[in-house]
Chains A and B, each alone.
Chain A
């Protein structure tokens, strides 16, 4: 066989492109890389999707580089300079307690990023685990797990999150847990569907014949295959999660003061909306932008993955 030489080729400069475009990929890694590359090519045809991606990247950059972008501390108050309109000193003005709105929006990006990451970390594994176990074992296990999933699905997300957030008490982490509790069922369904199609695959049968345990099959062979589509799905749902988080913040169940969170900033700013619109506009626009960005990226991803989208 010539696999080794092929691989050596691909490692060479210029060979990468060839490897990427090889008509017959060798191995899982190459094929999935190729898939991602193909997907990216399609994705890059969506101007709106690209715009969304740009905003998300911007969010990450802003969150990471927050201290470099503003010299203000987002929690330091200045009662004498409260509700100052936007100016050179305060780019987006100040809020009710004289805090710099720009700094709060910038640092608020960290909170948003924290929400996004934590939800992903909780939801993806949970959904994956439930979905794959359900799909792999089938029968009564499947029946029970899917019934539980249905129950969670039969609730509107915000309402369920509201209830749980209230039950768990205020605080951003509790809010995230509450949101996660409502966000895993679609993931589980997806993972289950993928598992069902994988379960019958020949290579799984082969592995099973070699005497691998169910746990090993699920974790080593099925789970990794489900991850890409799960990631896509989580992205699709992220816009909704951000809006839900903002809604919780608006109802006083979000981040604890004084730490900046866009939803609660908007909530406390609405009292001043008519006279000092910047206090609410800045976090409101931030929420809208990020949520819109995820919506756009999600839409584009959906088109890329949807076979109907390729004409």
Chain B
């Protein structure tokens, strides 16, 4: 939504190409400054954390000499702004530092874990959209009726019940009692190591390698956390669908469509819905960012080896680089999503093309 605001400051310039160029330049400046600000936030977060960056590298048992040497090597004796500059420089070269708890470069860690979270969030988003959009549209069409109220309660409940509680309860019911789904991790242990990581997305890798039983197993593992995460996002998706839909339903062209003789279903889905598709895409993109947030909690409950678990563990273990790297990644993804959704809006809506 921030992006919409950013682009609304258009000036009337004589030549359209020039104005486009100027707008693009302004956009680029905005993105770069936001990125810098993001870096500054993570940087200050790192400085505030109670963890000692020297000990994170040397290990706890370290002599005074080694400590001082590493202290200087890390540039901790330099003024703070110099430290910030060198931090930015490192990030620019893809150096996010080493993790004190996994012993690997943060970037390497992120490469292996981030696909797990993305995969989870995508499935969750699909589930959220499949439930949320029809729910919101129905609520808008049946505005003020009992259906509207029920839809609202259902949606808001998903957003109000603590996600860790839903997670454990669902595990208890669907895994322990009904044996419908897998429990922990991305796949059953006996399938572990059978698929060669290619994209990092287990479902895709399994599909490419045509290991369908493995695919099914992985699906059985992802479905529960994704469904819970998806349900969590239903509130937002349905609320926005409802409000977009209400706006469209009050438009004149709806009267036109009805005057043509079309029934409610056609009017709603062929006409009104078509007009909110692009808006919804933006909403889904934003939801995706929110799902990364939800993943922080759900991944702990489901032992899902993703970014959320990585971040919370980093926090618990005072692993500063992990915290900074994860927060930065999530922030960067957020930012990218904002830009992409803004871009999609321009591309897909015939009015802005």
Please list the residues of chain A having a beta carbon within 8 angstroms of any beta carbon in chain B.
47-48, 147-148, 150-160, 162-164, 166-169, 189, 239, 243, 246-247, 250-253, 263, 266-267, 270, 273-274, 280, 284, 287-289, 291-292, 295-296, 299, 306, 308, 311
The answer to whether A189 touches B5, judged by C-beta atoms less than 8 angstroms apart, is: yes
**What is the CA–CA distance of A274 and B165 in the complex, to the nearest angstrom?**
11
The answer to whether A151 touches B34, judged by C-beta atoms less than 8 angstroms apart, is: yes
Interface of A, secondary structure class, is helix
Nearest opposing residue in chain A for B5, CB measure? A189
Whether A164 contacts B45 in the complex (CB less than 8 A), given A251-B315, A266-B164, A292-B160, comes out as yes
Q: Which residues of B in the span 248-304 have a Cβ within 8 Å of any Cβ on A?
A: 250, 289-290, 292-293, 296-297
**What is the CA–CA distance of A292 and B157 in the complex, to the nearest angstrom?**
6
**Residues of A contacting B312 in the complex (Cβ-Cβ under 8 angstroms):** 162, 251
The answer to whether B160 touches A243, judged by C-beta atoms less than 8 angstroms apart, is: yes
The answer to whether A156 touches B164, judged by C-beta atoms less than 8 angstroms apart, is: no
**What is the CA–CA distance of A147 and B9 in the complex, to the nearest angstrom?**
14
Among B33, B165, B172, B289, the most chain A Cβ lie within 10 Å of the Cβ of B165
B239 within 8 A of A: yes
**What is the CA–CA distance of A234 and B334 in the complex, to the nearest angstrom?**
23
- B222–chain A nearest beta-carbon distance, Å: 21
**Residues of B contacting A159 in the complex (Cβ-Cβ under 8 angstroms):** 292-293, 296, 311, 326-327, 330-331
Whether A147 contacts B50 in the complex (CB less than 8 A), given A47-B149, A273-B168, comes out as no
The 6 closest A-B pairs by CB, nearest first: A151-B37, A167-B48, A156-B293, A291-B160, A292-B160, A284-B165
**Residues of B contacting A295 in the complex (Cβ-Cβ under 8 angstroms):** 156, 159-160, 235
B23 within 8 A of A: no
A150 in complex: contacting residue of B6, B239, B246, CB < 8 Å: B6
**Residues of B contacting A160 in the complex (Cβ-Cβ under 8 angstroms):** 41, 327
Nearest opposing residue in chain A for B164, CB measure? A250
**Residues of A contacting B153 in the complex (Cβ-Cβ under 8 angstroms):** 48
- A242–chain B nearest beta-carbon distance, Å: 9
The answer to whether B335 touches A154, judged by C-beta atoms less than 8 angstroms apart, is: yes
Other A-B pairs, 13, CB within 8 Å; known A274-B172, A296-B152: A155-B334, A156-B292, A159-B326, A160-B41, A164-B45, A263-B162, A284-B161, A284-B165, A287-B162, A288-B157, A288-B160, A288-B162, A295-B235
B159 in complex: contacting residue of A243, A270, A284, A311, CB < 8 Å: A243
The answer to whether B289 touches A156, judged by C-beta atoms less than 8 angstroms apart, is: yes
Nearest opposing residue in chain B for A262, CB measure? B162
**What is the CA–CA distance of A158 and B334 in the complex, to the nearest angstrom?**
13
Interface of B, secondary structure class, is helix
B38 within 8 A of A: yes
The answer to whether A308 touches B34, judged by C-beta atoms less than 8 angstroms apart, is: no
**Residues of A contacting B323 in the complex (Cβ-Cβ under 8 angstroms):** 163, 166
The answer to whether A288 touches B161, judged by C-beta atoms less than 8 angstroms apart, is: yes
**What is the CA–CA distance of A166 and B169 in the complex, to the nearest angstrom?**
28
B63 within 8 A of A: no
The answer to whether B156 touches A155, judged by C-beta atoms less than 8 angstroms apart, is: no
**Residues of A contacting B327 in the complex (Cβ-Cβ under 8 angstroms):** 155, 159-160, 162-163
The answer to whether B162 touches A284, judged by C-beta atoms less than 8 angstroms apart, is: yes
B196 within 8 A of A: no
B93 within 8 A of A: no
Nearest opposing residue in chain A for B36, CB measure? A151
A250 in complex: contacting residue of B34, B38, B49, B162, CB < 8 Å: B162
Task: List 16 contacting pairs A-B, 8 Å CB cutoff, sorted by A.
Answer: A147-B37, A151-B34, A154-B34, A155-B38, A155-B331, A159-B327, A163-B42, A163-B45, A189-B5, A250-B162, A251-B297, A252-B316, A284-B162, A292-B156, A295-B160, A306-B243
Among B34, B162, B239, B334, the most chain A Cβ lie within 10 Å of the Cβ of B162
**What is the CA–CA distance of A280 and B250 in the complex, to the nearest angstrom?**
45
Nearest opposing residue in chain A for B324, CB measure? A163
B30 within 8 A of A: yes
Whether A157 contacts B5 in the complex (CB less than 8 A), given A151-B38, A270-B168, A292-B157, comes out as no
**Residues of B contacting A263 in the complex (Cβ-Cβ under 8 angstroms):** 162
**What is the CA–CA distance of A274 and B49 in the complex, to the nearest angstrom?**
36
Mark interface residues in B18-58 (1 if CB within 8 Å of A CB, else 0). Answer: 00000000000010011001101110010011100000000
**What is the CA–CA distance of A6 and B5 in the complex, to the nearest angstrom?**
45
**What is the CA–CA distance of A252 and B156 in the complex, to the nearest angstrom?**
25
**What is the CA–CA distance of A30 and B156 in the complex, to the nearest angstrom?**
36
**What is the CA–CA distance of A239 and B316 in the complex, to the nearest angstrom?**
26
Nearest opposing residue in chain B for A293, CB measure? B160
